[in-house]
């Protein structure tokens, strides 16, 4: 009995030691993973501006010529890039940090509107006022209807409204001024990008039965939206709320077609996207082109026809801006 009593604490001590080693190993793995992620983020920040200068579209073609090894298999990316070079003059790269769709749309929207204002284009001033009103109304809706904290959201909303309001000074505001503002690390672009994520979430929550159909089901029969899998035990509203919390609201989470559609619809702009995604190239049809929240302008009133249009380039997991 005494031998057993004496050996028992030794056994417990060994179990505790093994547990401590396991915990230390897990902690070490987490720290290593965090360090690797931080190193990747630092490298991206050092080598990629939030939004680049303009590049001639031939640079896009050249990037795939470099990748072409002269094999017998067709290079669909190269074929698609050559097709784009016949339609567009230039493109602008956007940092690949998981926020590229929101950032590309924000930049292209403001840049395009500034050009229209400087050219005294019909409907440009009305479009600017519409967007400023939308910003104000969306802030109140986010707080009153969708439960966002007013004080947490206010700074981001004010930065978004400030950016739009700065376009009113289009006589003196230059493209270079706008470019510098939207490339400041931790500045306007990041604040507005997160606010656009909130707008996207509000749109999704406004019609959960419709948008829940975009979520991925376990049988894989519907389009995948991020890594979120539709939970059959939750309602459409609960699934969308969970999806927004995990895939829409956090910075750095890549978007899928459901976010693209929702943001285009809530801002009420037309987003055209050329898909250079490596699928077999059809010379007669060209690349797949999708338009979100926009239809043919024929038969529409002037207010709708004067709304902003943005053209983006999609490559697997990434968006850039195209210019005709």
pLDDT digits (tens, 9 = 90+) for 108-129: 999 999 999 999 999 999 999 9
- The two tokens of residue 115 are 């050009």
Query: What would the pLDDT profile of 147-172 be if each residue is shown by its tens digit?
Result: 999 999 999 999 999 999 999 999 99
* Nearest-angstrom CA–CA distance, 91 and 323: 6
Give the model's pLDDT for residue 53: 96
Give the model's pLDDT for residue 298: 53
Give the model's pLDDT for residue 208: 96
Distances (CA, A) of 59 to 65, 164, 223, 320: 10, 31, 33, 13
- The two tokens of residue 53 are 């200068």
DSSP state string for 147-163: ---HHHHHHHHHHHHHH
Give the model's pLDDT for residue 304: 78
10-residue mean pLDDT series, the chain (324 residues): 45 56 70 58 70 96 76 83 97 96 98 98 96 97 97 97 97 97 96 98 96 72 61 89 95 94 96 95 92 64 82 96 97
């Amino acid at each position: 009995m005494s031998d057993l009593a004496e050996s028992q604490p030794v056994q417990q001590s060994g179990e505790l030691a093994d547990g401590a080693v396991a915990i230390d190993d897990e902690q070490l793995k987490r720290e290593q993973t965090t360090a690797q992620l931080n190193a990747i983020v630092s490298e991206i920040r050092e080598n990629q501006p939030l939004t680049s200068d303009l590049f001639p579209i031939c640079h896009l073609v050249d990037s795939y010529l470099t990748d072409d090894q002269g094999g017998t298999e067709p290079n669909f990316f190269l074929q698609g890039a050559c097709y784009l070079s016949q339609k567009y003059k230039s493109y602008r790269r956007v940092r690949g940090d998981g926020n590229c769709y929101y950032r590309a749309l924000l930049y292209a929207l403001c840049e395009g509107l500034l050009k229209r204002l400087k050219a005294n284009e019909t409907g440009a001033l009305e479009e600017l006022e519409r967007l400023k009103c939308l910003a104000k109304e969306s802030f109140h809706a986010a707080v009153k209807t969708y439960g966002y904290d007013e004080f947490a959201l206010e700074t981001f909303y004010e930065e978004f409204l400030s950016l739009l309001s700065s376009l009113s000074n289009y006589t003196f505001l230059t493209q270079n001024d706008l470019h510098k503002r939207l490339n400041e690390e931790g500045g306007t672009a990041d604040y507005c990008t997160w606010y656009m994520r909130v707008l996207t979430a509000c749109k999704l929550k406004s019609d959960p039965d419709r948008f829940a159909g975009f979520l991925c089901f376990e049988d894989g029969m519907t389009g995948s939206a991020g890594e979120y899998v539709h939970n059959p035990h939750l309602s459409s509203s609960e699934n969308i709320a969970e999806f927004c919390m995990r895939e829409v609201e956090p910075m750095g989470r890549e978007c899928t077609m459901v976010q693209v559609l929702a943001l285009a619809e809530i801002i009420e702009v037309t987003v055209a996207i050329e898909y250079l995604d490596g699928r077999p190239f059809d010379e007669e049809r060209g690349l797949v082109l999708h338009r979100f929240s926009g239809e043919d302008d024929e038969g529409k009133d002037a207010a709708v026809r004067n709304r902003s249009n943005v053209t983006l380039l999609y490559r697997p997991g990434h968006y850039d801006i195209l210019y005709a």
